[in-house]
Amino acid sequence: MAYPNGARLKFACDMDKSVLVNNFEKRGWVSVGADEDWNFYWATVQSVRNIFSVENGYRLADDQVINHFPNHYELTRKDLMVKNIKRYRKDLDKEGNPLAEKDETGHYIHLDFVPVTFMLPADYNLFVEEFRKNPSSTWIMKPCGKARGIGIFLINRLSQLKKWSRDSKTNTFTAPSSKDTYVISRYIDNPLLIGGKKFDLRLYVLVTSFRPLKCYMYQLGFSRFCSVKYNANVNELDNMFVHLTNVSIQKHGEDYNAIHGGKWTVHNLRVFLEGTRGKEVSDKLFDEINWLTVHSLKAVSATGTKGAIANDRHCFETYGYDIIIDDNMKPWLIEVNASPSLTSTTAADRIMKYKLISDVINIVIPPGEMVDVKWNKVPTKENLGHFDLLYDEELAQSDLLQMPENKSRVGTGAPGANVRGKVDPRKVTGATWK
Amino acid sequence: VKKDVVQTLVKTGWERKLRNSIFCKMMSYHPPPHYAASQEHIKEPNSYIRRAQANWEKRILKSLNSMCTELSVPLARKRPEKEQKDMLGRWAELGTDEPDLSQFRPVYAPKDFLEVIASLKNPNVVDCGDNTVSSCAWGIIQAPVYVKDLHQLRLQYSEMAINQCQSGIDDGPELPSEVFEADRAKLARKVLAAKLAPATQEFAKKGIPLSHRAQMWSQILNVEVDDVDILYYEQLKTGVLQHDLLVDSLIYKDVKLTATNDDQYFVFEDYLYQVLLPFSRDTTILQHFNYSSASPAKSYIRGKLGVDEFAVNYPPNGVIPFHGFSMYVCPLCYIYNDIIHLYFVFREMYNRYFFRLHTLSSHPQVSASINSIMGIVSLCLQFERLLQTHEAILFFHLKSIGVQPLRLAFKWLIRAFSGYLSSEQVLLLWDRILAFDSLEILPVLAVAIFTFRKTNLLQVQTFSASEAVLADITTLKVIPLIQLALFSQ
């Protein structure tokens, strides 16, 4: 792609991934080093941290964009995500916002979308209290700073936790840093099974701005299936293949199939749910997924609060959302990844990821235009590709001003109706949920 | 009294059930044969087709037997107690612990069967060498069976005309639901409430919305799972547990080769075993042999070879699976989550339609018989005729580079497109099979796909290149294609 003045867009890329480089080269962009004068930088989170660090003093120009927000970890580190969502709910509750409505047992009706979670070792006593309420429950331990299923294990007795704590103490002589902290979450032990198999969802969400919030949901997400039959039997607790659907773990399983990689498109899931349970059920589920995505982002985007993501206009970010659906058709947000894997496991996977990157670029930099961080970040419908506009705070607000009757719908009724009323940017952009 | 009885019948809903049941019987009704007709004549009036089918069966049997000898496995054996228990425990996850199947191979593949069809020749048609009857056809089907022309098909499928809104096109997410979707859903609920099979069938002609399909298909096929059915399925399951059959390995092998590797269907692998293994024990399947040219394979109890009283059908349902057989079940997994329901819907679909896709028959389409579903031979010829008449340039090009179009399309036809199209599209296509009670939509779609890819096909010079052009049809939308083929000229 050449600019009107004949110059070509310059890109830098930390990762040697074909789905990235092929996309850049197809656009005729020129490759430059990360320390040179780039317009578009696909960086690792470490590089981004360096660029934005105070010592560095690096200042980005108006024609430079980069693929991470400086403090994305507020959303993508397991402990911070939970902390921020808890705080967000409390803040809404204080405001008396109807969204923070609770039922008799004290659970949030509309905002209860992450499994009960505690930090360890900090919240150990709180956890024990909760565990004693339900002694037969299973819990999942995850190290805060690690990804791809590393260091994860399940417990269903307090003694297992004590043993773990003893073992880890003898190994370390330093004070617990964030690397040693764990989150312990209630394990979803009633997952929805398809064909008798457990699965989770990997959805891609693009954020181009946190204030005002502008986010997009990708249509081509997928479900990841365990290669081994799910069995709630306690003896199977040690068999991680049953419980974890991460492809990087499943790949080591014996039954891993290299043709489809255990991945089933979200479209297939939708066809199946609509066929077996009806359109209402399936629409409601996907509405709720959109709902939880928007609110997880709002939890880190409110102005002036601690834990808000710095809204640098040079940044955009593609998140990998991991969601589990339980057998009551309720979606649970498990975690958010800042750098969803761009390694392709199958042919279909490569095509999908190539499209993903292509669509991300077209939203961030409208085709044929120069990089300019001052543009209004409202892509045209053609440039959305396989993304759907999930929420645009600006548009939603102007919508509300235009149609005061919508106001009454905000914060009442079912989440689905809520989000629709609130988000409904259809009239402005022509983009819809579905 | 009569009035009372009638009224009570209506009130209790039994009248409706009776009507549906009679309708269902009518669908598979066969007019009483001529008194002088022999048993084999009823099955298949043309002796040359009869002979060909018999020879084909002999070949399959021979290959089955030689597999037995080669691998030294018996056709059937009783499972020891322990193995039965073990299998029962794993019943819902048979896919995880597979037996060693490396030695097994599918008994036959679609292309073997195509050879048999292509070699069918009516001895009464004399090829005088004057370029008349058979030589004006460019295809490979030589059997003179009746097929329809485009005009007749157009009349038959008039409900699918372009000016009529169709589910699967006019209810897409990009259109506001007021256009068609909402009305259609309302009508669907009304039709379902009426519980009348003919009404449902009429509705299905324009396609069925995804969320109503499960119920509507059950209604058209008159499948209502009750306690007797559940018990029946359990008996079949016990049969599977008690005896290990050679065909079980063939079923395993087929699922592993097809569905397990399919990115749409791998999820349902275990369901397929739970349907196909009991299916092979289901002797009610045998009834279709009364009106098809095929006969179930016979096996004899050891030491009593050739003695008719000791003959048993092998496998008990008489169906020897071929490569791709499990694809008849796969799309159904998208609408039936309950195994037993899934089983009976599949069984009914097989008994009505699918068996015709892998047995030879001339099936007289013109006869007065209500049940006049075309067999595979007619479907093949239908495809060739339509293509030759309406895509002559394309046919000629392919023929001139030595590519017979049927060799490209046959795999689609024999599987009713399952595994080639996206599951959603297969279901929309099968809606029409049920609605019009006919398989003729299959060759129409095959021709439509050739038309759609014509530009590319006209450029190819080899068989493999033409195969490549048609290799991926998962992105196609079938209904607009069928409409183009039927109504655009």
Q: Which two tokens stand for residue B438?
A: 């006919």
Q: Which residues of A touch B334 (CB under 8 A)?
A: 271-272, 275-276
- Dihedral, CA of residue A29, residue A30, residue A33 and residue A39, to nearest 10: -50
CB of B334 less than 8 A from some CB of A: yes
Give the residue from A386, A382, A367 showing the smallest Cα distance to A429: A382
At residue A197, does pLDDT exceed 90?
no
Lowest-confidence range among A367-376, B18-27, B199-208, B222-231? B18-27
Lowest-confidence range among A134-143, A300-309, A347-356, B230-239? A300-309
DSSP state of B130: S
Contact B237, B454 (CB under 8 A): no
Average confidence (pLDDT) over A418-429: 37
Determine the Cα angle at A346 with ends A344 and A348, to 5°: 100
Q: What is the pLDDT of residue A175?
A: 47
Q: What is the pLDDT of residue A414?
A: 38
Interface contact flag, A271 B334, Cβ < 8 Å: yes
Cis, peptide link before residue B80, omega less than 30° from 0: no
Contact B233, A229 (CB under 8 A): no
At residue B380, does pLDDT exceed 70?
yes
Interchain CB contacts (distance < 8 Å): A and B? 71
At residue A411, does pLDDT exceed 50?
no
* B residues 149..188 contacting A (CB < 8 A): 173, 185
Sign of CA dihedral A226, A227, A232, A235: negative
Give the residue, B243 or A302, on which the prediction is more confident. Answer: B243
Distance separating alpha carbons of residues A423 and A18, to the nearest angstrom: 36
Confidence of residue B309 (pLDDT cuts 50, 70, 90): low
Contact A60, A314 (CB under 8 A): yes
At residue B400, does pLDDT exceed 90?
yes
DSSP state of A176: P
- Dihedral, CA of residue A193, residue A194, residue A197 and residue A202, to nearest 10: -90
CB of B93 less than 8 A from some CB of A: yes
Q: Which residues of A touch B270 (CB under 8 A)?
A: 195-197, 229
Distance separating alpha carbons of residues B17 and B346, to the nearest angstrom: 21
Q: What is the pLDDT of residue A421?
A: 36
Give the residue, A434 or B267, on which the prediction is more confident. Answer: B267
The string over B55-89, giving b where at least 16 C-beta atoms fall within 10 Å of a residue's C-beta and e elsewhere, is ebbeebbebbeebeeeeebebbeeeeeeebeebee
At residue A249, does pLDDT exceed 80?
no
Give the residue from B117, B123, B157 showing the smallest Cα distance to B362: B117
Q: Which two tokens stand for residue B4?
A: 């009372």
Q: What is the pLDDT of residue A244?
A: 59
CB of B239 less than 8 A from some CB of A: no
Interface contact flag, A196 B93, Cβ < 8 Å: yes
Confidence of residue B421 (pLDDT cuts 50, 70, 90): very high
Please write the tens of the pLDDT for every residue from A88-108: 999 888 888 888 888 888 788
Cis, peptide link before residue A425, omega less than 30° from 0: no
Contact A390, A217 (CB under 8 A): yes
Distance separating alpha carbons of residues A86 and A84, to the nearest angstrom: 5
Average confidence (pLDDT) over B226-248: 93
Q: What is the pLDDT of residue B304?
A: 62
**Amino acid at the residue B223:** V
At residue A237, does pLDDT exceed 60?
no
Please write the tens of the pLDDT for every residue from B174-195: 777 767 888 888 899 999 988 8
Give the residue, A17 or A421, on which the prediction is more confident. Answer: A17
* Residue in B185, B271, B423 nearest the CB of A195: B271
Give the nearest chain A residue to B269 (CA atoms).
A195
Helix (H, G, I), strand (E, B) or coil at B89: helix
Give the residue, B360 or B233, on which the prediction is more confident. Answer: B233
Q: What is the pLDDT of residue A168?
A: 64
Mean pLDDT of chain B: 85
Distance separating alpha carbons of residues B113 and B7, to the nearest angstrom: 53
Contact A262, A241 (CB under 8 A): no
Average confidence (pLDDT) over B122-138: 58
* Residue in A195, A262, A280 nearest the CB of B270: A195
Q: What is the pLDDT of residue B369?
A: 41
Which of the residues A228, A229, A247 would you substitute to probe the B interface, choosing the one with the greatest number of B C-beta atoms within 10 Å?
Answer: A229
At residue A400, does pLDDT exceed 80?
no
At residue A174, does pLDDT exceed 50?
no
Q: What is the pLDDT of residue B277?
A: 95
Contact A370, A386 (CB under 8 A): no
Q: How far apart are the first and last CA of chain B?
A: 59
Interface contact flag, B334 A262, Cβ < 8 Å: no
Please write the tens of the pLDDT for every residue from A132-143: 888 888 898 888
At residue A243, does pLDDT exceed 50?
yes
Interface contact flag, B335 A276, Cβ < 8 Å: yes
Q: What is the pLDDT of residue B126?
A: 59
Distance separating alpha carbons of residues A154 and A34, to the nearest angstrom: 41
Distance separating alpha carbons of residues A19 and A358, to the nearest angstrom: 9
- CA B358 distance to own-chain centroid: 8
User: Exposed/middle/buried for B227, CB within 10 Å: 0-12, 13-18, 19+?
Assistant: exposed
Q: Domain spans of chain B? A: 49-107+242-356
Q: What is the pLDDT of residue B65?
A: 87
Distance separating alpha carbons of residues B415 and B446, to the nearest angstrom: 12
Please write the tens of the pLDDT for every residue from B241-287: 999 888 999 999 999 999 989 999 999 999 999 999 999 999 988 88
Interface contact flag, A274 B210, Cβ < 8 Å: yes
Give the nearest chain B residue to A281 (CA atoms).
B211
With a pLDDT cut of 70, the percent of chain A lying above it is 78
Average confidence (pLDDT) over A387-393: 93
Contact B247, B280 (CB under 8 A): yes
Lowest-confidence range among A141-150, B143-152, B277-286? A141-150
Average confidence (pLDDT) over B471-479: 93
* Residue in B213, B267, B270 nearest the CB of A275: B213
Most confident of A51-65, B113-127, B353-367, B374-388: B374-388
At residue A418, does pLDDT exceed 50?
no
Mean pLDDT of chain A: 81
Q: What is the pLDDT of residue A227?
A: 64
Q: Which residues of B touch A429 (CB under 8 A)?
A: none
Give the residue from A143, A127, A149 showing the smallest Cα distance to A77: A143
Confidence of residue B127 (pLDDT cuts 50, 70, 90): low
Q: Which two tokens stand for residue B319?
A: 């169906």
Most confident of B99-103, B219-223, B372-376, B428-432: B428-432
**For residue B359, is it left (φ>0), alpha (ψ between -120 and 50) or beta?**
beta
Antiparallel, parallel or unpaired: β A222-225 and A263-265: antiparallel
Give the residue from B38, B26, B49, B34 showing the smallest Cα distance to B375: B49
Interface contact flag, A275 B210, Cβ < 8 Å: yes
Interface contact flag, B263 A195, Cβ < 8 Å: no
With a pLDDT cut of 90, the percent of chain A lying above it is 42
Average confidence (pLDDT) over A322-339: 94
Interface contact flag, A279 B271, Cβ < 8 Å: no
Average confidence (pLDDT) over B457-482: 94
Instruction: Mention every residue, 6+ apart, whose C-beta is less than 8 A from residue A357.
Output: A19, A20, A23, A342
Distance separating alpha carbons of residues B371 and A192, to the nearest angstrom: 42
CB of B260 less than 8 A from some CB of A: yes
Contact A27, A48 (CB under 8 A): no
Please write the tens of the pLDDT for every residue from B50-81: 888 889 999 998 888 888 888 888 888 888 99
Distance separating alpha carbons of residues A281 and B210, to the nearest angstrom: 12
CB of B261 less than 8 A from some CB of A: yes
Confidence of residue B306 (pLDDT cuts 50, 70, 90): low
